């Protein structure tokens, strides 16, 4: 039988998983194995009992320092990691966190349910910042044309808003979920990323400058909420952060199972992949992943299949089969993008072509039509809700706008 080939045979792929050389920051060792695969081996040899003791000490110290203030900030998106972070911090370690959400304002119905369900279940105080609908609609187009991704506002906001809350509420410790070593070449388990030092700020601001998103329809004033606090503001509070996944053994599959059965966390279908629990809270995540595919030749299915190959849930060949089926799928969310930006499909593909990485230039990138309808409506949940109430008002004979 012929073995499945990667989608773009001219690229170099990790010899163990399915990650190509076009992933940002990827490094291969002499055997052609990527850093995330090396990290997954480190993970087996780490003394997790020792790591957990370190975590306990960090959390105990934070409690002592907090006085009447919150013990820590937990940035949450409503995804699987958010619920797991809250479970660990409140139920296992008895912390009093302040949950903080930067809303991309593209909630799926099940994502909105998961966020609300976790706030109710874990009884945590919560602050959410939501940029207005017209602004994110206007930004989506700039975002595609300038960075080749629909979600600039999300990346920038998720980076900036929890730090603003930390600085203003004087809560130094931020606690994220998954280790950066899990899926990316940005960190390893031996060398986790901890602080928000000058280097972090330079890196972040290099990537996400709000000033670069100014256009005819978007002013700097509109973009102000996406600015990071200053290094001085951060240092005055001594803000720093950890990822729970650097201290406790992280297993997405088992955690999702646990959350589903224990707390009623809901999985849902995702575009462009076969798994049902990563970024399901965002109706545009299919666009985020599809734009990555058009620029770099791989999408979400490549990332998820690679994790499953590392964890022994799939063989590399099975991963490559799934990737052929899912990565090239035209997401239904492209329709929503065209509606909110008034752009055309041709203009979208032309913009994406300009932003390809050098290895993908001049290469034919297959796009396939989806054969099934998406399980959820790809309309932001607040809009679905408004539509539903208006319809029922109309049915009952109420007139709007009186
Ligand atoms: Zn690999």
What string of pLDDT tens digits covers the 402 residues of the chain? 788 999 999 999 999 999 999 999 899 999 999 999 999 998 999 999 999 999 999 999 999 999 999 999 999 999 999 999 999 999 999 999 999 999 999 999 999 999 999 999 999 999 999 999 999 999 998 899 988 999 999 999 998 999 999 999 999 999 999 988 887 666 778 877 777 766 776 666 667 789 889 999 999 999 988 999 998 999 999 999 999 999 999 999 999 999 999 999 999 999 999 999 888 899 999 999 999 999 999 999 999 999 999 999 999 999 999 999 999 999 999 999 999 999 999 999 999 999 999 999 999 999 999 988 999 999 999 999 999 998 887 777 766 554
- What the block records as the tokens of 47 is 């003394």
Q: What distance in angstroms lies between residue 17's CA and the mean position of ligand 1's atoms?
A: 4
Q: What distance in angstroms lies between residue 183's CA and the mean position of ligand 1's atoms?
A: 9
- CB within 8 Å of 33: residues ≥ 6 apart: 14, 15, 16
Give the single-character DSSP code of 330. Answer: P
Q: What distance in angstroms lies between residue 108's CA and the mean position of ligand 1's atoms?
A: 31
Q: What distance in angstroms lies between residue 34's CA and the mean position of ligand 1's atoms?
A: 4
Q: What distance in angstroms lies between residue 303's CA and the mean position of ligand 1's atoms?
A: 10
Q: What distance in angstroms lies between residue 330's CA and the mean position of ligand 1's atoms?
A: 26
Q: What distance in angstroms lies between residue 252's CA and the mean position of ligand 1's atoms?
A: 17
Instruction: Spell out which residues have Cβ within 5 A of ligand 1, the ion.
Output: 14, 16-17, 19, 34, 37
SS3 for 133-202 is HHHHHHHHHHHHHHHCCCCHHHHHHHHHHHHHHHHHHCCCEEEECCCCCCCCCCCCCCCCCCECCHHHHH
Q: What distance in angstroms lies between residue 204's CA and the mean position of ligand 1's atoms?
A: 25
Q: How far is CA 390 from CA 18, 380, 396, 397, in A?
A: 47, 16, 10, 10
Rounded to an integer, what distance in angstroms lies between the CA atom of residue 317 and that of residue 133?
Answer: 43
Q: What distance in angstroms lies between residue 13's CA and the mean position of ligand 1's atoms?
A: 8
Q: What distance in angstroms lies between residue 247's CA and the mean position of ligand 1's atoms?
A: 22
Q: For tokens 């799939």, what's the residue?
A: 314
Q: What distance in angstroms lies between residue 184's CA and the mean position of ligand 1's atoms?
A: 10
Rounded to an integer, what distance in angstroms lies between the CA atom of residue 171 and that of residue 57?
Answer: 17
Q: What distance in angstroms lies between residue 45's CA and the mean position of ligand 1's atoms?
A: 18
Q: What distance in angstroms lies between residue 205's CA and the mean position of ligand 1's atoms?
A: 29
326 burial level (CB within 10 Å; 0-12, 13-18, 19+): buried
Q: What distance in angstroms lies between residue 186's CA and the mean position of ligand 1's atoms?
A: 14
Antiparallel, parallel or unpaired: β 173-176 and 125-129: unpaired
Rounded to an integer, what distance in angstroms lies between the CA atom of residue 18 and that of residue 183?
Answer: 12
Q: What distance in angstroms lies between residue 368's CA and the mean position of ligand 1's atoms?
A: 26
User: Domains (ranges, CATH) in the chain?
Assistant: 47-246 (3.40.50)
Among residues 247, 228, 250, the alpha carbon closest in space to that of 239 is found at 228
Q: What distance in angstroms lies between residue 73's CA and the mean position of ligand 1's atoms?
A: 32
- Torsion angle of the four alpha carbons 143, 292, 22, 244, in this order, in degrees rounded to the nearest 10: 90
């Amino acid at each position: 039988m012929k073995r499945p080939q990667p989608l773009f045979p001219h690229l170099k792929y990790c010899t163990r998983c399915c990650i190509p050389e076009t992933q940002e920051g990827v490094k291969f060792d002499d055997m052609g194995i990527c850093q995330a695969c090396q990290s997954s081996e480190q993970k087996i040899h780490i003394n997790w009992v020792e790591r957990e003791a370190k975590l306990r000490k960090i959390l105990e110290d934070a409690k002592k320092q907090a006085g009447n203030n919150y013990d820590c900030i937990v940035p949450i998106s409503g995804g699987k990691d958010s619920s797991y972070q809250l479970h660990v911090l409140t139920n296992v370690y008895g912390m009093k966190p302040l949950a903080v959400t930067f809303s991309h304002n593209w909630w799926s119905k099940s994502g909105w349910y998961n966020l609300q369900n976790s706030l109710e279940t874990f009884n945590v105080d919560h602050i959410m910042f939501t940029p207005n609908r017209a602004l994110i609609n206007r930004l989506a187009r700039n975002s595609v044309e300038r960075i080749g991704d629909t979600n600039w506002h999300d990346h920038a906001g998720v980076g900036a808003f929890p730090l603003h809350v930390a600085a203003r509420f004087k809560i130094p410790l931020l606690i994220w979920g998954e280790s950066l070593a899990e899926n990316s070449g940005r960190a390893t388990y031996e060398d986790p990323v901890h602080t928000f030092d000058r280097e972090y700020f330079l890196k972040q601001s290099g990537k996400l400058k709000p000033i670069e998103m100014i256009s005819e329809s978007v002013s700097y004033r509109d973009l102000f909420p996406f600015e990071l606090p200053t290094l001085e503001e951060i240092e005055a509070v001594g803000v720093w952060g950890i990822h729970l996944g650097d201290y406790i053994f992280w297993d997405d599959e088992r955690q999702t199972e646990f959350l589903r059965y224990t707390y009623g966390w809901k999985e849902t279908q995702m575009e462009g992949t076969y798994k049902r629990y990563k970024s399901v809270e965002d109706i545009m995540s299919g666009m985020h992943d599809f734009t990555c595919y058009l620029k770099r030749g791989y999408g979400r299915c490549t990332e998820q299949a690679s994790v499953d190959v590392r964890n022994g849930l799939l063989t590399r060949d099975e991963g490559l089969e799934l990737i052929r089926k899912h990565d090239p799928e035209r997401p239904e969310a492209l329709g929503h993008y065209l509606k909110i930006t008034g752009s055309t499909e041709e203009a979208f593909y032309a913009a994406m072509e300009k932003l390809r990485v050098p290895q993908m230039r001049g290469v034919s990138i297959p796009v396939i039509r989806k054969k099934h309808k998406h399980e959820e409506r790809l309309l932001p949940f607040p809009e679905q809700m408004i539509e539903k109430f208006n319809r029922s008002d109309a049915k009952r004979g109420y007139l709007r706008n009186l």
